[in-house]
Amino acid sequence: MADYLTLQGWLLALLQTALFVTAAPLLVGWLRLLKARLQNRSAPALTQPYRDLSKLFRKEVIVADTASPLFRAAPYVVFSATVVTAAVIPLLAVHLPTAAIADVIVLVGFLALARFFLALAGMDVGTAFGGMGSSREMTIASLAEPAMLMAIFTLTMTAQSSNISHAIDFLLAQGLVLRPSFMFALLALLLVAVAETGRIPVDNPTTHLELTMVHEAMILEYSGRHLALMEWAAQLKLMIYGVLIANIFFPWGIAVESTPTALLLGLAAITGKLMLLCVVLAVAETALAKMRLFRVPGYLNLAFLFALLGMLSHVILEVGA
């Protein structure tokens, strides 16, 4: 019986990871549709990201003469590292084998690995825009990662576990409790998510102005399936942050049992939460303009300040009490 349950758990974990990967373009399609409606533009089809990826996979790969083997390998490393990150995040259920083998430090490490190879690929060919994008990406990452870790540490200190699955399980058992530390941590993680996924006001994923690019500048030299993998990894990263925010700070609805009914309810819950998060993001991107690059450090310092306030609130109000 135990072997069956173990096998069932791994199969469910693989199914959850596959759902994570295949649903990421759909989330981007929903976000684009919302933005188009808010801006009074003709909205693209909800499945347009799938069509774009399919078109790119069918196109020929063109590689610059100055590119090294690292340039060719980087898309596969970036995509694989992002998929592994998605595999350890609870999407539908908490008690899964993949969620139990990694904590928040490993999760941030996987994202850093993907960013490292993305930045190397941007500099590999030797173009000015690629090097500029890589420099900007690493600058943003050096300020965003401490804020992200501080925000998640606030959660893990409350749950007394650095494992995300165990922390969510603890919050579900506690029920609805108003914690000021979580409010500050949520604000910090929201700001970090916008910066890490290259959304307005930090970056614009649809820009055509090379001088303002960050993420897009690093992948200008890619084409064909290599570009498809890079774009897919970026879409997956957006969904990763959305699921982290939805299931950590609003964990209600996630399945604690591996029954079909619980999993369907978990699917409905995470779908609704991600749709609402996209509405908030679409409204924010419509109302705000892209900030100057030199203002981004101040923006991320604000995120770190919120995370630090969350940590201090936890220590004063909960540990001190």
Alpha carbon 189 to chain centroid, angstroms: 11
DSSP 12-48: HHHHHHHHHHHHHHHHHHHHHHHHHHHTT-PPPPTTH
**pLDDT score at 3:** 40
The residue assigned the tokens 């690093």 is 218
Q: Element (H or E) spanning 317, and its range? A: none
What amino acid occupies position 153?
F
State the DSSP code for 318: I
Does residue 178 have a pLDDT over 80? no
What pLDDT was estimated at residue 320? 54
Q: In angstroms, rounded to a whole number, what is the distance separating the alpha carbons of residues 129 and 121? A: 12
pLDDT band at 4 (very low <50, low <70, confident <90, very high): very low
| pLDDT, averaged across the chain | 89
Q: Which of 90-94, 97-101, 142-146, 155-159 has the lowest mean pLDDT?
A: 97-101
Cβ distance 122 to 132 under 8 Å? no
**pLDDT confidence of residue 1:** 38
pLDDT at 257: 82
Residue 35, pLDDT score: 93
Q: What pLDDT score does 174 carry?
A: 80
Contacts of residue 167, defined as CB under 8 A and 6 or more positions apart, other chains included, come to 155, 156, 158, 159, 161, 248
pLDDT digits (tens, 9 = 90+) for 191-213: 999 999 989 889 888 777 767 78
Asked if 114 contacts 233 with a C-beta cutoff of 8 angstroms, the reply is yes
Percent of the chain with pLDDT over 90: 57
Give 159-206 as a DSSP string.
HT-S-HHHHHHHHHHH-S---HHHHHHHHHHHHHHHHHTT-TTT--TT
In this predicted structure, what is the pLDDT of residue 34?
95
Buried b (16+ CB within 10 A) or exposed e, 42-66: eeeeeeebeebbeebeeeeeeeeee
Whether the predicted model's global pTM rises above the 0.85 cut: yes
